[in-house]
Amino acid sequence: MTVCSFFLSKPDYAQRAVTEALVNALIHRDYIVMGKEIHIDMYDDRVEIVSPGGMFDGKAIQDRDIDTISSARRNPVIADLFHRMRYMERRGSGLRKILDSTAQLPGYTDEFKPQFISTDTDFIVVLKNVNYFALSIAGTSEQVSEQDGEQDSEQDNKIKMILDFCSVERTRQELQDFLQISSRQFMLNTVLKPLLASGKLVMTLPDKPTSRNQKYIRADI
């Protein structure tokens, strides 16, 4: 399996999370606010869904525990309509479902945890592309738009950090501990395979790729 085909077989986002975020934006939008609209901003590394109107009680969502927020609907008629269409439950649990469904994606780590941000005028849900880090390491061309300079710099720094660490021979476990990645499979598929495919890392035992004595080192060493 090539690096490209591997990532094409994995979803970037949880379908349930996207649906819940869109429903949340529609039923909690402040429709009194004129001149603004719900919009979806798509980037290579994330999707942002922005809805006019902050939290109904005025408190910032990022300062609160998701599990203790009581259900308060700005638009009960719209909420009831979506419930009848089976797009939501009567009790508010949409944000928790966004978190839980995203956590079930292959390759998920806490780095990809969805973010909820509210201001006095907007509510924002940020869903992160769980394949983005690996795609950028591999240097593949599946990304739909060019990275801006800040994103490029961030990814370059991540790769440089890994390669600097591998200036001497490292085992998979050493790399995994260094990057604080708990999943062995995620480490292999999302970090090691792309770096090996791009030629940035090489195996010390290339004829025995699954050897328990296998180590990895930066290609120019």
Which has the closest alpha carbon to 51: 121, 127, 126, 129? Answer: 121
Q: Quote the pLDDT of residue 161.
A: 87
Asked if residue 133 belongs to a domain, the reply is no
Asked if residue 35 belongs to a domain, the reply is yes
Reply yes or no on whether the pLDDT at 15 is more than 80. yes
CB atoms near residue 118 (< 10 Å): 21
Mean pLDDT to the nearest integer, 174-182: 83
Pair (61, 108) in one structural domain: yes
For residue 84, give the CATH number of its domain: 3.30.565.60
Pair (7, 105) in one structural domain: yes
Pair (74, 12) in one structural domain: yes
Pick the last residue of a domain from 128, 159, 177: 128
Domain that holds residue 201: 146-218
Q: Quote the pLDDT of residue 144.
A: 39
Dihedral-angle region of residue 200 (phi above 0 means left; psi in -120 to 50 means alpha; beta otherwise): alpha
CB under 8 Å to 123, separation ≥6 — which residues? 24, 25, 28, 50, 51, 53, 54, 55, 61, 116, 117
Q: What is the DSSP string of 171-195?
A: -HHHHHHHHT---HHHIIIIIIHHH
Asked if residue 212 belongs to a domain, the reply is yes
User: Any bridge partners for residue 202, and if so which?
Assistant: 217
Pair (179, 76) in one structural domain: no
CA angle 163, 169, 157 (to 5 degrees): 10
Assign 109 a pLDDT band (cuts: 50, 70, 90).
Answer: confident
Domains identified in the chain, total number:
2
Pair (16, 108) in one structural domain: yes
Pair (81, 163) in one structural domain: no
Reply yes or no on whether the pLDDT at 216 is more than 60. yes
| E-state strands within 55-161 | 115-118, 122-128
Pair (124, 162) in one structural domain: no
Pick the last residue of a domain from 128, 163, 187: 128
HEC-encoded secondary structure of 45-63 = CEEEEEEECCCCCCCCHHH
Pair (26, 119) in one structural domain: yes
Q: Quote the pLDDT of residue 2.
A: 38
Model confidence pTM above 0.85? no
Residues 59-84 pLDDT 10s: 889 888 888 777 777 888 988 888 88
Mean pLDDT to the nearest integer, 79-90: 81
Mean pLDDT to the nearest integer, 198-212: 92
Average pLDDT, the chain: 82
Q: Quote the pLDDT of residue 92.
A: 59
Q: Quote the pLDDT of residue 4.
A: 40
First CA to last CA across the chain, in angstroms? Answer: 27
Pair (80, 116) in one structural domain: yes
Q: Quote the pLDDT of residue 114.
A: 95
Residue 111: half-sphere exposure toward Cβ, Cα within 13 Å:
16
Q: Quote the pLDDT of residue 13.
A: 93
**Cβ distance 105 to 183 under 8 Å?**
no
Using CA atoms, how far apart are residues 122 and 102, in angstroms rounded to an integer? Answer: 23
Pair (117, 166) in one structural domain: no
Q: Quote the pLDDT of residue 130.
A: 85
Assign 22 a pLDDT band (cuts: 50, 70, 90).
Answer: very high
Pick the last residue of a domain from 77, 101, 128: 128
Residues 126-165 pLDDT 10s: 999 987 765 555 554 344 344 445 555 666 778 888 999 9
Is the C-alpha dihedral spanning 137, 143, 149, 154 positive or negative?
A: negative
Pair (190, 90) in one structural domain: no
Asked if residue 16 belongs to a domain, the reply is yes
Pair (58, 150) in one structural domain: no
